[in-house]
Amino acid sequence: ITIEAKRLLEGNPDVADQVIQAIATELSRLVPFHYYLKVLIAGIGNEKITPDSLGPQTVSKVRVTRHLFLAYNCDGDPEQANVAAINPGVMAQTGVETAEILRRLVDFLKPDALIAVDSLAARDVNRMNTTVQMTDTGISPGAGMKNHRAKLTKETVGCPVIAIGVPTVIHCQALLND
């Protein structure tokens, strides 16, 4: 799923609200809400490198609810999902593959879905910070910058993986070609 919103660069809050609504609509199709829904959200990337910090910045804005479900000993809720979130860092920070960290967490939490948010590499300068891509087939962190890390897929982490990405970097060669 690709949502293109070139007008995002204008800084108009109405445009931002429309994009948010479009993302929410598509995400609800990929992860339908139900009473027992459990979701793990992972912010992929390095929070100390601005163009790679989309994932960690997104997680800082997520409304985490798992602690409430634990505190009230609830299995479900008619209005909100059981949400946990993590910024697993990157291999250069942790020495551990992100997929390994998330696999262990999925084994422990048993979520219905993992939502991975990551920065993407653009091939076209016009897509930088104006395009949102979503998929239910997972993601290969670092692949856009030829830094191939272990894939995040249903097979590697143990639950469906929904990837959400925004192009925030571009190769110099692609920039020169444009």
What pLDDT digit, counting tens, does each position of 71-92 carry? 999 999 999 999 999 999 888 8
The fraction of the chain above a pLDDT of 90, given in percent, is 70
Report the pLDDT value the prediction gives residue 144, as an integer from 0 to 100. Answer: 57
Confidence check: pLDDT of 169 > 90: no
Report the pLDDT value the prediction gives residue 69, as an integer from 0 to 100. Answer: 98
CA distance 172 to 155: 34
CA distance 21 to 16: 9
Contact 54, 166 (CB under 8 A): yes
Confidence check: pLDDT of 30 > 70: yes
Confidence check: pLDDT of 143 > 60: no
The fraction of the chain above a pLDDT of 70, given in percent, is 95
Q: Where are the alpha helices (DSSP H) in the chain?
A: 13-30, 54-59, 66-71, 91-94, 98-109, 154-157, 172-177
- What is the value of pTM for the model shown? 0.91
CA distance 105 to 99: 10
Report the pLDDT value the prediction gives residue 142, as an integer from 0 to 100. Answer: 63
Q: Which residue has the tokens 């300068």?
A: 125
Query: 145 falls in which pLDDT band (50, 70, 90)?
Result: low
Confidence check: pLDDT of 51 > 90: no
Minimum mean pLDDT range among 110-114, 141-145, 166-170: 141-145
The pairs formed by 142-147 with CB atoms below 8 angstroms and a separation of 24 or more are 142/90, 144/120, 144/169, 145/121, 145/169, 145/171
Q: Which residue has the tokens 């985490």?
A: 64
Query: 166 falls in which pLDDT band (50, 70, 90)?
Result: very high
139 φ, ψ (degrees, to nearest 5): -155, 155
Q: Which residue has the tokens 């429309």?
A: 18
Query: 146 falls in which pLDDT band (50, 70, 90)?
Result: low
